[in-house]
Amino acid sequence: MANILVTGGAGFLGAHLARNLVSVGHRVTAIDDLSGGFMDNVDSRCKFIKADVSDHKKITMIFQKHKFEYIFHLAAYAAEGLSHFIKRFNYINNLIGSVNLINEAVKNNVKCFVFTSSAAVYGNNPAPMCENMVPCPEDSYGIAKHAVEAELEISRRMFGLPYIIFRPHNVYGEYQNIGDKYRNVIGIFMNQLMQDKPMTVFGDGNQTRAFSYISDVIPAIAGSITMPEMYNQIFNIGGDKVYTINQLADAAAKAFNTRAVIKNFPARNEVRHVFCDHSKIRKFFPVEQTVLLEEGIRKMADWAKKVGARRSKVFKCIEIKKNLPTSWKNT
Ligand SMILES: NC(=O)c1ccc[n+]([C@@H]2O[C@H](COP(=O)([O-])OP(=O)(O)OC[C@H]3O[C@@H](n4cnc5c(N)ncnc54)[C@H](O)[C@@H]3O)[C@@H](O)[C@H]2O)c1
């Protein structure tokens, strides 16, 4: 059994992934700075270290001590729309933090570096988005993810560091941070529903996304390190069925036994239709999407009702206020 590092291990995907890995007997260390994750999410069988991946001295010390064999790097601030307005923070946190880990992975001869990139690297490419399309990110978050992908490929060629890159999109489920008004649309809707507030939608709500329930993505990410045929490749991962944001709001309201009340804000600068082709990952993990939206939302809603509504934090260090959506100002 392997000695594994999971960054972002107190976050949504990271907590599920770490749980999966310890369950099959791996030794798992979870690193997280708790900026967006919660200690309650962390499985007690994992070793937990509070650390910021952009702190390179601390990351070096952790690697010297623990000698990890595999890295799953999930730590990031995944607020795609907000990333235009927090460029410096985005690049330090999501790009420099990743580079610190790649440096240590090279120095310590890590066997595989698994990175959760994002479908955001595709930008306005036509849907369904395929791994062989030329990336064209439309925001700073997507640019940082794309840069990390390129760094991994260069580090493989230069130093022989093996990698696997996943590009998930709109994953949802239990342990997701529902208290962040800048990201996670399903969590935002549930938090609003629990406070009897209208669900806020940017634009007309007819933009489309495919949503992925957490249990449909974690087994493939966790199992990938045991499949050398997957090494040094990029994989889309997630659900196939496409919904409008208005349909999503209806499904969320239904899970709370109420009807959807929507408050529309002016449209944001965002990609209108995002869904991906999953034929490549299906060659390795043939399971189709098993949890459909209504069922997944119901499961997440049952959990959300237990944890209750969360007060949304305001991101304090906005670097550019020009064109910041009004709904993100001050409140
Ligand atoms: N959830 C999705 O739909 C989705 C889609 C595409 C890509 N991703 C990627 O998957 C990864 C996990 O996303 P998630 O939805 O679980 O988000 P999340 O916010 O729940 O988890 C991220 C975790 O990283 C931690 N973190 C952030 N910056 C850090 C830093 N500098 N040092 C240490 N810890 C830090 C946060 O505290 C949080 O616990 C991210 O890299 C994200 O970009 C997620």
Which residue type, as a one-letter code, is found at position 288?
Answer: E
Q: How many angstroms separate the CA atoms of 263 and 108, rounded?
A: 51
Bond preceding residue 198 cis, omega within 30 of 0: no
Beta carbons of 14 and 166 less than 8 angstroms apart: no
Q: How many residues does the chain have?
A: 331
- 102-113 per-residue burial string, b: 16 or more CB within 10 A, e: under 16: bbbbbebebbbb
Q: How many angstroms separate the CA atoms of 193 and 304, rounded?
A: 10
Task: Look at strands 208-210 and 242-244 and give their pairing.
Answer: antiparallel
Choose the residue to mutate in 32, 43, 88 for probing ligand 1, maximizing ligand atoms within 8 Å of C-beta. 32
Gap from CA of 257 to ligand 1 centroid (Å)? 30
Gap from CA of 16 to ligand 1 centroid (Å)? 12
Q: Does residue 238's CB lie within 6 angstroms of at least one atom of ligand 1?
A: no
If DSSP codes are grouped into helix, strand and coil, which group holds residue 179?
coil
DSSP letters of 16-41? HHHHHHHHTT-EEEEEE--SS--GGG
Q: Whose CA is nearest to atom 12 of ligand 1?
A: 74
All structural domains of the chain: 3-171+213-237 (3.40.50.720), 177-210+240-273+290-315 (3.90.25.10)
Closest ligand 1 atom, CA of 38?
39
Output the 3-class SS for 271-297: CCEECECCHHHHCCCCCCCCCCHHHHH
Q: How many angstroms separate the CA atoms of 306 and 253, rounded?
A: 17
Predicted local confidence at residue 286, as pLDDT: 83
Predicted local confidence at residue 33, as pLDDT: 98
Predicted local confidence at residue 46, as pLDDT: 98
Gap from CA of 227 to ligand 1 centroid (Å)? 24
DSSP state of 304: H
Predicted local confidence at residue 316, as pLDDT: 87
Q: How many angstroms separate the CA atoms of 69 and 86, rounded?
A: 33
Q: Whose CA is nearest to atom 18 of ligand 1?
A: 11
Predicted local confidence at residue 217, as pLDDT: 96
Residues 6+ apart with CB under 8 A from 38: 10, 175, 177
pTM of the model: 0.96
pLDDT in 10s for each residue of the chain, 331 residues = 999 999 999 999 999 999 999 999 999 999 999 999 999 999 999 999 999 999 999 999 999 999 999 999 999 999 999 999 999 999 999 999 999 999 999 999 999 999 999 999 999 999 999 999 999 999 999 999 999 999 999 999 999 999 999 999 999 999 999 999 999 999 999 999 999 999 999 999 999 999 999 999 999 999 999 999 999 999 999 999 999 999 999 999 999 999 999 999 999 888 898 899 999 999 999 877 789 999 999 999 999 999 999 888 889 899 999 999 988 876 4
Q: Does residue 116's CB lie within 6 angstroms of at least one atom of ligand 1?
A: yes
Predicted local confidence at residue 330, as pLDDT: 60
Output the 3-class SS for 55-82: CHHHHHHHHHHHCCCEEEECCCCCCCHH
Beta carbons of 221 and 72 less than 8 angstroms apart: yes
